Structures are given as structure tokens and as C-alpha cells.
Amino acid sequence: MTQKADVVVIGGGPGGYEAAIRAAQLGLSVICIERRMHKGKPALGGTCLNVGCIPSKALLDSSHKYHEVKSNYAAHGIVVGEVGLDVAAMQARKDKVVDGLTSGVAALLKGNNITWLQGSGRLLSGKQVEFTPHEGEKQILEAESVILASGSEPVQIPVAPLHDGVVVDSTGALEFDQVPKRLGVIGAGVIGLELGSVWSRLGSEVVVLEAVDNMLPMADKAIAKEAQKILTRQGLDIRLGARVSGTKVAKGKVTVTYTDAKGDHEEVFDRLIVAVGRRPVTDGLLSPDSGVSLDERGFVHVDDQCHASVPGVYAIGDLVRGPMLAHKAMEEGVMAAEVIAGHHAQVNYDLIISVIYTHPEAAWVGKTEEQAKAEGVDVKVGQFAFAVNGRALASDDTAGFVKFVADAKTDRVLGMHVIGPAAGDIIHQGLIAMEFGATIEDLQLMCFAHPTLSEVVHEAALAADGRAIHAIQRKRK
Ligand code: FAD
Ligand code: NAD
């Protein structure tokens, strides 16, 4: 029998499940197809909840606590005995957090009367979807609208093929059952820095090999420079301009050969993480006559409202252009559902926040100083350090700064860039300011609570006009 629904969503990651929930809220009948099996169980939540955002943050928080107790408590006058590490317990806690959240999503789908079909979906022509369950017969579904949300998977490189727990991708790097003595990481991107930090804090000697000469090219230069300085001080050995030419696994270790400006090198590691980017999952998603076209990089081609090239078919999240971020996928899911229901909806692609959850965190939104200048804007910049902020000093967490990029003529805030404690939360002040078209003066005139980390935001806005209070500034206005 053919099942019918107003909306069929293929993929139950953050993009897909939020699309499904919003569509159901809007009164549409919804089927969500998700094929993921996580640790032997069918699981919703996609990359984000199972092998991405959540497990990585669980390990980042556990490893941060371990590092704090070991290295920073004495300064607070807290004396602890010998500090031990139970990696199995740390991993079990992470798994419990993941489990709680993925079953929460299942409960949300159920509560919204959304049918979760466990297996694979494939778009045919005429908005029909072929559903192949994990067990049993194929079925054909008929939909008024289809949302493709199949996400992404790690890029693999021929010079470093994955090898049974020794050479791993990000998923494998979340599952180490002991701390590798020497850990190699290929790629100084977001995953390399976050997971490199986890294992470094737990005691690994970490070497990060990055092909390009500048770290974090998408970040404001000041943030990238500061991040490199701080992470290097923390013990990450980041080698830029390092091109890996081969890997060889023997006796449970991996030998990596690479070339940089100084010549050819060889390093032996206990584990190697390959974190060189992700690519959209389109294998088996589209029948040849589905009519959906891909762009030159293999992403499903969509417009600003996520319409694919076939009327009634939408694509969202990591499967389409733009940053591969869970919150971007979620907003696109909600937008697609609203467009299907006949509402006006838009995502502001100019204001998608980026956060790197190292310690300190780095976060930014809007334009970098370099971008604004390249666009011919007469730029003014305000920057202020956490080093003289009372709250940061009180908690002994003083690395980094807040930087504003603004239009010198109109005073409008164009970008906010933070590296420092709680940067991933503080950055939302910039998001709200920019969404409301705030000027630097608006921020200067607000009364920020004392003593808070957010006072650095206020001081950075004041600094843009040479009038920060807790710094000697020569320029006056
Ligand atoms: P996905 O989450 O990939 O979900 C797609 C789902 O579709 C998958 O579960 C897959 O099984 C299913 N699927 C695919 N094809 C089919 C099919 N044919 N039939 C049925 N089901 C199918 N982003 C952040 O914003 N913040 C972070 O802190 C962050 N940390 C990350 C850490 C790591 C280690 C990784 C790997 C990623 C991280 N990301 C983070 C990125 C984030 O996980 C993704 O951007 C996000 O999950 C994309 O959501 P999505 O719904 O588009 O796709
Ligand atoms: P990335 O694009 O952030 O970084 C990959 C890095 O690998 C780049 O610096 C690139 O120059 C380098 N590289 C590529 N090929 C290489 C090679 N052969 N040798 C050495 N270096 C090489 O990708 P990622 O770190 O794998 O993360 C994938 C995606 O997941 C990102 O797009 C990111 O948006 C998302 N993610 C987000 C978060 C977060 O929001 N905090 C965390 C993890 C992942």
C-alpha cells in the first residue's frame, strides 16, 4: 500500500527533525525517514547528536574539568590529592548524554504525531519517495512536499585511509578507550582543534598537521592569530603548510610522512585523526530521474529558501551550500516547513554564528575586518581584552578579547569577534545587535552589569571610538 503524507523528510538530523516538528506544528502530516543505527540502536538526531556537536562537547567539558582540577585549582587554594582519569566512565557519561537527547527527539516526533520510518529514503520522480526499511519490503511514499536532509560525512583522503581504530575520522576520535600517548591530527580546522584539545588536556602529546599556511582562514585574522598563540601555549603542536604524503600502520602505530617548507618529515603516532572537512551525503538519495540537480561541489543546488530544482522538493543543512553547522541546518529546516505551509520565511545568511569550543572559545558573527575592508567599507575597529576584566580575573580566565568591526561612516556594527571565556554565549549579543541594526553608539549607551564578562563587550564598543575606560586610549571623542 502507498503511504501518503503532506511532507516526507529524508534524514532525521537537526535539520530534518526540526523541519518535521515545525511542519507538524503547522498542521501538516509528516513522515521522517532516518536510517542511522547508533551503538546498535536506531537513532534520530543525525551527526550532531550522535557523533558531532553533543558527544564532542561532552568530552570537551569532561577534559576541561580534568585539566582544571589538575592544573588550575591550586591557584584558587583548592588542594586535591592525586587526580585520576577513568576514560571508560568519561565515555559512558558522554554516551548517556547522547542517549538522553536522541530519545528526547524520538519523543518529540511521537508527541507531534510524526511517523518515524527506520531505514533509507530515496527520492524518485514526481515527489515519490522509495523507503527501504532496515528489515522488510520496500514501500513507495507519496508526498506533497519532500525535504532532503541527508547531511554530511567526513572527507577521506587517499594518503591516510582509515585503519581499525588507529587512523580514525571524527567519529572514531570520540571513542578512544584510552589516552593515546602521541596523537597526530590531519587538519587544523574546527574538528582538529576541538578533538585535539580534548586528548591533549587528557595527556596526549598532540601534533596537528595543517596543509595551508594560515590557520582558520575564515576567521578574522586577529582571532586566528590569538587562537594559534593560545592553543600552542596549551601544548598543541600546530604545524602549518604541512602536506601529508603517506601513512603506514604497523604494530598498532601509524607513521606519517609529510612535507613542509623545511623539507620531508616523518612522525610516529599511537593514533591519527583525519579531520580535513566533510562532504554532502547524496549516495543513494536521488534516483536518476528525480530531477534534482547538484552543484559543482556535489551539494544539492538550492535557492535562498532551500527550494531544490524540482517544485515541491527542498534541501537543507549540510546537504546544501553554506557553513556545515547544526544551527544553520535547524533554521533552514524551520524555514522549509514554513514555506511549505505557505508562510513567508527567511534565514539571515549574513548572520550565522561560528563557534570553536576550545578553551577559551572563539566565536564570530558578521564580517571580519578583512572582508569589510575588501568590500571598500571605511572600517573602524574596537577591541578590548579580558585580561583587565574584573570577572575574568576573579575566575582566573583572562585570555582573549572582544573585537567589533563597524562602518566608520554610519557607525553600524558589521561584525563581532570574540576569543575568550564563554565566547560562544557572549557572541549572541553581537547577533542580536546586528539583527536590530545597532550602532556602536547604541552599545556604548547601554548599562552592562558589573562584574561580568560582558563588560568586555561594552568596553570593546567604547574602544571603537577611543574611549574605553579601563585602557589608556589616546584618541578621544
Ligand atoms: P546530519 O546531522 O548529518 O543528519 C542527516 C541524517 O540523515 C543522518 O543521521 C543520516 O543517517 C540520515 N540520512 C542520510 N541519508 C539518508 C537516507 N537516504 N535515508 C534516511 N536517512 C538518511 N555543528 C555545530 O553547529 N556546532 C558544533 O559544535 C558542531 N560540532 C561538530 C562536531 C563534530 C565532531 C562533527 C562531525 C560535526 C559537528 N558539527 C557542529 C556539525 C553538525 O553536526 C552538522 O552541521 C549538522 O549535524 C548538520 O545537520 P543535518 O541535519 O544537515 O545533517
Ligand atoms: P574544516 O573545514 O573546519 O577544517 C579542515 C582543515 O583541514 C582545513 O584547515 C584544511 O585546510 C585542512 N586540510 C584539508 N586537507 C588537508 C590535508 N590533506 N592535509 C592537511 N590538512 C588538510 O573541517 P573539519 O574540521 O573536518 O570539520 C568539518 C565541518 O564540521 C566543518 O565545516 C564545521 O563547520 C563542522 N564542525 C563544526 C564545529 C563547531 O561548530 N564547533 C565543530 C566541529 C565540526
- Which bound ligand lies closest to the C-alpha atom of 278? 2
Q: Which residues of 246-272 are buried (b: 16+ CB within 10 A; e: fewer)?
A: ebeeeeebbebebebeeeeeebebbbb
Q: Which residue has the cell 522549509?
A: 336
- Which bound ligand lies closest to the C-alpha atom of 325? 1
Q: Which residues contact 206 (CB under 8 A, 6 or more apart)?
A: 183, 184, 185, 196, 199, 200, 235, 236, 237
Indicate whether 452 pLDDT > 80: yes
Q: Which residues of 193-230 are buried (b: 16+ CB within 10 A; e: fewer)?
A: bbbbbbbbbbbbbbbbbbbeeebbeebbebbbebbbeb
Tell me the sheet residues that pair with 355.
363
What confidence score (pLDDT) does residue 2 get? 82
What confidence score (pLDDT) does residue 473 get? 80
> For the purposes of burial, counting CB atoms within 10 Å of the CB of 274, is it exposed (0-12), middle (13-18) or buried (19 or more)?
buried
DSSP single-letter state for residue 411: -
Tell me the sheet residues that pair with 260.
263
Concerning whether 450 is annotated as a catalytic residue, the answer is yes
Summarize the confidence of residues 302-316 as an average pLDDT. 98
Within 10 A of 458 (CB to CB), how many other CB atoms are there? 23
H/E element, 139: strand 139-148
Residue 351 DSSP SS3: helix
Domain locations in the chain as residue ranges: 3-154+279-349, 167-276, 360-463
Ligand 1 binding site (Cβ under 6 Å of any ligand atom):
10-16, 33-36, 46-48, 52-53, 56, 120-121, 149-152, 170, 191, 281, 284-285, 317-319, 324-327, 329, 357
Q: In the chain, pLDDT over 70 holds for what percent of residues?
A: 99
DSSP single-letter state for residue 78: -
Q: Which CATH class for the 360-463 domain?
A: alpha beta
Q: Do domains 167-276 and 360-463 have the same CATH topology?
A: no
pLDDT, one tens digit per residue, over 351-381 is: 999 999 999 999 999 999 999 999 999 999 9
3-state helix, strand, coil in the chain (%, to 5): 35, 25, 40
What confidence score (pLDDT) does residue 220 get? 98
Termini Cα distance of the chain: 74
Cβ atoms of 32 and 115 within 8 Å: the answer is yes
* CATH superfamily of the domain spanning 3-154+279-349: FAD/NAD(P)-binding domain (3.50.50.60)
What confidence score (pLDDT) does residue 477 get? 60
Q: Which CATH class for the 167-276 domain?
A: alpha beta
- Confidence tier at 262 by pLDDT (50, 70, 90): very high
pLDDT, one tens digit per residue, over 209-233 is: 999 999 999 999 999 999 999 999 9
Which alpha helices (H) appear in 154-261, and where do they start and end? 170-173, 190-201, 221-233
Which residue is closest in CA terms to ligand 2's atom 35?
Answer: 324
Indicate whether 476 pLDDT > 70: no
